[in-house]
Amino acid sequence: MDILGAGLANLASIMIFALVAAGVAKVFQIAATLSEMKELLGDIKRNTDSHIPNAPFASAESAENLLRAVSAELDHPVPPSAHDYQR
């Protein structure tokens, strides 16, 4: 009976060691993945244009001009705005 108990204790010890080793390996794998993601986000941040303005249109006139330019490319007429009538 003592041999069976000792064998089960050794088996349990080996299984616990294997689980701890697998857990440590998984933690290192997660750390490697997170560092890779950090590098990719840094690359994306470096490659984006930082000179793009926050507001896409500084005024209503520039928005209208952009709309007219896009409309001209699409062959869709844009009716004149009320702003054009005041000039």
pLDDT along the chain (87 residues), means of 10: 89 97 98 95 83 59 77 67 57
- Residue 36 forms part of a structural domain: yes
Torsion of CA 55, 56, 59, 60, to 10 degrees: -130
With contact defined as beta carbons under 8 Å apart, do 57 and 66 qualify?
Answer: yes
- Residue 61 forms part of a structural domain: yes
- Residue 66 forms part of a structural domain: yes
What pLDDT, on a 0 to 100 scale, did the predictor assign at position 52? 56
Alpha helix ranges (H) inside 48-80: 60-74
- Residue 43 forms part of a structural domain: yes
- Residue 87 forms part of a structural domain: no
- Residue 69 forms part of a structural domain: yes
Number of domains into which the chain is organized: 1
Q: Can you spell out the DSSP letters for 21-51? A: HHHHHHHHHHHHHHHHHHHHHHHHHHHS-TT
Total residue length of the chain: 87
What pLDDT, on a 0 to 100 scale, did the predictor assign at position 57? 53
In terms of residue numbers, what domain contains 36? 2-82
pTM of the model: 0.47
